[in-house]
Structure 1
């Protein structure tokens, strides 16, 4: 069966194929010995000192790429995410990393503390695997923190508790990587039944990987990255009776060593049970179609097509440093400071001669950003921005800051296109899925963070165009000058801006198709003085 045709004609089969790539070990797949080194090393040798870049527009394709890479890892997997959810995708990702670790692959997972969604027992169980290390970045909100500690951190170190790691990286065998806007959660891979994100990643090989490896290592070794075992105590201790009594209520004398042995045996049993749960969850045959299992035979053809069609170019990896701006008292007071990523993007805007196209989920212009865009307009540079409408937005606080600036942006000659929750493009992703037949399709929301300058320079990464990305969050991304890539990415954004996918704010007005309840909530958020943390 031809996988490419399967993708074009049967989206439900392709999507199931992605799941089975993650989870289902058929004999055909097991016998396929194509490795990352076999696939990538010859390409890198053909293009010394260059970076191979493939744009991952669709969630399904982005999931497929991660799945294949993880299944083919032989040495290391390093992953860094802002969000890791306890949903279908989150569990599947955890299971595939567990399987890699069982093969002897060294796995390192670094997740920001703010939005990690995992029970302590699962974190603990994965962290005790000899080949898995998990660290939590800036753990003052969730993991191992009680309510009092959370409030205390927010009050005594407001900046510190707001300094989050927004990075998204997936690096395999120190040879191939994926970065961009996607977190590890259902909606980022078109898997949400009610809500999904329109996002963008890039798959990278070659010269840029060494910079990405260095960035991951810097964050991993940062004093803000705390090992899970130092944050989460053994969750099974409470199941041991540490002070047993006889039938008359007198405390029995029990050897401490014996109790510790009981705990060790219980922990081993519980951890094995959790591993088995993840494997069973991942290998539930109800997730698959027979055609999908047969299509696994040709799976490497599709990944080979991806790498063969990559653009080979000069690329720069940009990254903020761990603990961005937290060591400066003045920045701590006014929540400013900028960073490497903000500086790099500011230079791109400052050098623009003809046109700038931006796609961002959250659009709140800081004073510095305002000056840059106004200066560009004064030079005659056209500026078009695609962001979320109120109806599509998942972040009302950020939208409140944007809505206060819309009129000024329009007056400055900036064109704004607000993405519709019912964008026609979503039909390309989910219309033919069996689970949506006869049902309402999910809402879609922009989450891609991209900029195209003068039809030749492209930025794709994690940076939102707002003060939080500028001053508080650490951000990463890729900058490259390549006209063909720029043309392709610009075309994708312009399609998102088209009628039926977005509203032209100057023509169509604001707050289209938005409920009174959501507009009322927006009114509340606009009253709050929170611009610096949006």
Structure 2
């Protein structure tokens, strides 16, 4: 089975842009990558254009409906009032709830956006202009129109928005957009991209992979999910099994401080400094964006209703003891820039060393979920020594059939047998894993004749059944040495027991294949995908 064009382009960008093997991929960064994405680009373009045609957007322009959908998710009580019962706990500990399902991760973000009182700070590697991205943008604009200050920090390399779209969002007086390390995409023509690729190869490859959604400086969602359909179970062709964690009070201030550090760093450049407004740039008008989000075909009414029910669900979670109040929660984030060119494509980082220390501290077991599993000699040595100490190490990663990134899989495939020789147990995710019925959204639009491929994207580790790590870190050289990453460390036996059970369930035969020296499931992938994997062997593992 093959992915949609949208997802193939993402995996190609990650490696072919970075190696210079395919110049075409450089131009893809500012091009719509599928028919559906192209139509969504058109919606944001409508907020820029001074004249549009209703047939192109297919949206309902009735103002009463627009007003109704705006009011549907407003809460009677303020966020401050709702949090008042937890005020003392928030000062001395951190409320923690693991967001396993894509739907609850989406609903939580949406509801918090509607209730934010002072600020929303957003830090992402990918913020797409697909259906989820457009609706998220609409919610952010509505928050800004209430007076909430919105800051959006996005890495440069995967942005698929057009220049006018970025400028339009940034033009709102309460919204500011900055681009991290803009060497590859925003405001760059093809010649400039090639120049930076040739002369600043290390810096060109250094990306911001952190992910944080921060409301009023005391509520945070962080983890593996970017902002795009596939991270929340709403893509028709390919979806991710992912994991986030909601943090209330406590450590949230440290996440805010990390965001501020990135925001103020010289690598984070205001989009207004990168792009110039064209002669046809329209006055501030988000009507078309609001109307898109109000159209039931784009945003199902049942989902809007569920957003309004989040406070009741939260109360139930609290009553059931699933909101854990913990001391000792840690948020570890790499410094902006991470490594300079003195350590070419190497150099480690704070997040890397933290994970190494945790693995070295393990006494009985290490469970790992990682979508991309590319080990260096140092990494294999670490795992071998861990196994030799009597620690059981199990790793769940993507199979060839489930992966969205052939470049990364090629790096894994090259030394899969060497990795198995260290004594670790490896399980490869099935593209039709039965667990998807539990964690995916069940509200996909009508007309889908086959179930989407299901790939792994969660980056999680459980140590000795009492420490859980949820973050952005993949087990690959790119996360270790180039990309800035962040991880949240949760010292809780209860959380660890629940997350451990989730991972073990996903390693079961209905969800994964166990790979051994004499067996791997590569043949389960389609012939075309296997053929496309072949040439990726030339890409150096150090940039995967």
Q: TM-score range by the shorter chain?
A: 0.7 to 0.9
Instruction: Provide closer, same or farther for how the CA distance between residues 464 and 41 of structure 1 changes in structure 2, counting only shifts above 3 A.
Output: farther
1:415 counterpart (407, 421, 425): 425
**Structure 2-normalised TM-score?**
0.84
Map residues 45-444 of structure 1 onto 2, 5 A cutoff. Answer: 45-46=88-89, 48-235=91-278, 237=279, 239=280, 267-268=282-283, 271-272=284-285, 275-287=286-298, 298-306=309-317, 309-313=322-326, 314-326=328-340, 328-329=341-342, 331-332=343-344, 335-429=345-439, 433=443, 435=445, 439-444=449-454
1:504-524 C-alpha deviation (Å, 9 max, x unpaired) = 112752304111221122221
Say whether the 8 Å CA contact 2:147–2:174 is kept in structure 1: yes
Say whether the 8 Å CA contact 1:141–1:150 is kept in structure 2: yes
Q: Residue 490 in 1 paired to residue 490 in 2?
A: no
CA RMSD of aligned residues (A): 2.0
Q: In structure 2, the residue corresponding to 1:424 is in which secondary structure?
A: coil
Separation (CA, whole Å) in 2 of partners of 1:431 and 1:50: 32
Say whether the 8 Å CA contact 2:467–2:489 is kept in structure 1: yes
Superposed displacement of residue 51, structure 1 = 1.1
Superposed displacement of residue 288, structure 1 = 5.8
Instruction: Provide closer, same or farther for how the CA distance between residues 280 and 512 of structure 1 changes in structure 2, counting only shifts above 3 A.
Output: same
Separation (CA, whole Å) in 2 of partners of 1:296 and 1:182: 18
Instruction: Provide closer, same or farther for how the CA distance between residues 160 and 29 of structure 1 changes in structure 2, counting only shifts above 3 A.
Output: closer
In the alignment, which residue of structure 1 is the partner of 2:536? 525
Say whether the 8 Å CA contact 1:176–1:209 is kept in structure 2: yes
Tell me which moved more, 141-150 or 408-417: 408-417
Say whether the 8 Å CA contact 1:54–1:307 is kept in structure 2: no
Instruction: Provide closer, same or farther for how the CA distance between residues 492 and 172 of structure 1 changes in structure 2, counting only shifts above 3 A.
Output: same
1:177-204 C-alpha deviation (Å, 9 max, x unpaired) = 0000000100000010000000000000
1:488-517 C-alpha deviation (Å, 9 max, x unpaired) = 001111111111100011275230411122
Superposed displacement of residue 175, structure 1 = 1.1
1:36 counterpart (79, 97, 105): 79
Instruction: Provide closer, same or farther for how the CA distance between residues 430 and 181 of structure 1 changes in structure 2, counting only shifts above 3 A.
Output: closer
Separation (CA, whole Å) in 2 of partners of 1:390 and 1:281: 36
In the alignment, which residue of structure 1 is the partner of 2:40? none
Separation (CA, whole Å) in 2 of partners of 1:379 and 1:295: 48
Instruction: Provide closer, same or farther for how the CA distance between residues 471 and 278 of structure 1 changes in structure 2, counting only shifts above 3 A.
Output: same
Say whether the 8 Å CA contact 2:397–2:428 is kept in structure 1: yes
Superposed displacement of residue 50, structure 1 = 1.2
Which structure is larger by alpha-carbon Rg, 1 or 2? 1
In the alignment, which residue of structure 1 is the partner of 2:3? none
Say whether the 8 Å CA contact 1:77–1:173 is kept in structure 2: yes
Tell me which moved more, 125-134 or 291-300: 291-300
2:69 counterpart (25, 38, 44): 25
Q: In structure 2, the residue corresponding to 1:282 is in which secondary structure?
A: helix
Separation (CA, whole Å) in 2 of partners of 1:440 and 1:514: 17
Instruction: Provide closer, same or farther for how the CA distance between residues 149 and 409 of structure 1 changes in structure 2, counting only shifts above 3 A.
Output: same
Superposed displacement of residue 297, structure 1 = 6.1
Instruction: Provide closer, same or farther for how the CA distance between residues 279 and 61 of structure 1 changes in structure 2, counting only shifts above 3 A.
Output: same
Superposed displacement of residue 407, structure 1 = 0.8
1:52-106 C-alpha deviation (Å, 9 max, x unpaired) = 1100001000001001100000100000000011100111111111000000000
In the alignment, which residue of structure 2 is the partner of 1:243? none
Instruction: Provide closer, same or farther for how the CA distance between residues 144 and 410 of structure 1 changes in structure 2, counting only shifts above 3 A.
Output: same
1:216-240 C-alpha deviation (Å, 9 max, x unpaired) = 00000010000010011003x1x4x
Q: In structure 2, the residue corresponding to 1:285 is in which secondary structure?
A: coil
Separation (CA, whole Å) in 2 of partners of 1:296 and 1:209: 23
Tell me which moved more, 49-58 or 305-314: 305-314
Superposed displacement of residue 481, structure 1 = 1.5
Instruction: Provide closer, same or farther for how the CA distance between residues 162 and 294 of structure 1 changes in structure 2, counting only shifts above 3 A.
Output: closer
Q: In structure 2, the residue corresponding to 1:386 is in which secondary structure?
A: strand
1:81-138 C-alpha deviation (Å, 9 max, x unpaired) = 0001110011111111100000000000000000011111111111111100100000
- State the aligned residue count: 475
Q: In structure 1, the residue corresponding to 2:402 is in which secondary structure?
A: coil
Say whether the 8 Å CA contact 2:329–2:488 is kept in structure 1: yes
Superposed displacement of residue 427, structure 1 = 2.4
In the alignment, which residue of structure 2 is the partner of 1:467? 477
Q: In structure 2, the residue corresponding to 1:385 is in which secondary structure?
A: strand
